[in-house]
Copies of this chain bind each other. A is one copy, B any other.
Amino acid sequence: MTAGHLAVIGLGPGDEELLAPLARRMLDDATDLFGYGPYLARVRGAPGAVRHPSDNREELARARAALALAQSGRRVAVVSGGDPGVFAMASAVFEAIEAGPPAWRALPVEIVPGISAVLAAAARLGAPLGGDFCVLSLSDNLKPWPVVTRRLRLAAEAGLVIALYNPVSRARSWQLGAAFELLRQVLPPDTPVALATAAYRQDESLRLHRLRDADPGGADMRTLVIIGSAATRIIDRPDGGSWLYTRRDVPD
């Protein structure tokens, strides 16, 4: 039997100009492509490749199906937007391997990194991640909401810049407002807050607020939220635009 292979591939922000050549080569080489339907539809692969779209609440089932096909000898690619290791498919694949048949542990599995949503959003805004930062998911699908609020509070107390994935979803709309409310109890009201939606895509939208009037209504499922630290600054430009950046130094 031909040895199969599983690659978990980061697509980056979606623009082919930001897709690593390694990822492009692995996509072209795959016999089978797995992924969330809308991501999969945008991916270019080999002409004969079989596509296996699935819903974004079915990550573990998708991982198992991809592993079983790799085990049968196929060259399988599982795709994720951004980086596959950040709130995406790589972790689900290893969960499936750990709970699956022992033979899956011998499969060649390659994680192909990509430019994550947080790095893409930061680049378009300026350099808001210039100091220490954290990356949190605001979803309470996989962890209890009190864990989310505790992490937010401790991260703010630690002086970290906070990047939020999954600020809203079809089923959830109140969490981002609750997060802003909580952070107003810890951080100064003029703390910069950015909402970056669809960075590097045609419908990109970048909004800068201060925490006192940060508006959760501007966020959707494709939005990355960045809350600054005491070292985060806004530079206004003559054309009316602004850059957001965090100084590298923390004073005594």
Contact = CB atoms under 8 A, between A and B. Distances in A.
Interface of A: 12, 15-22, 25, 59, 83-87, 90-95, 97-98, 102, 105-106, 109, 111-116, 119-120, 122-124, 126-137, 142-144, 147, 150-151, 154-155, 157-160, 233, 235-239, 243, 245-250, 252
Taking the full assembly, how many copies of this chain does it contain? 2
* Interface SS of A by simple majority: mixed
Considering residues A106, A128, A154, A157, which has the most beta carbons from chain B within 10 angstroms of its beta carbon?
Answer: A154
A135 B122 CA distance: 14
B123 A86 contact: no
Contacts of A143: 131, 249-250
Contacts of A160: 134, 151, 155
Contacts of A95: 245, 247-248
Given A94-B127, A105-B238, A119-B119, 18 more contacts: A18-B22, A59-B248, A91-B127, A91-B130, A91-B131, A98-B235, A105-B235, A105-B236, A106-B238, A111-B123, A111-B126, A114-B115, A132-B135, A132-B136, A132-B151, A147-B250, A151-B158, A154-B154
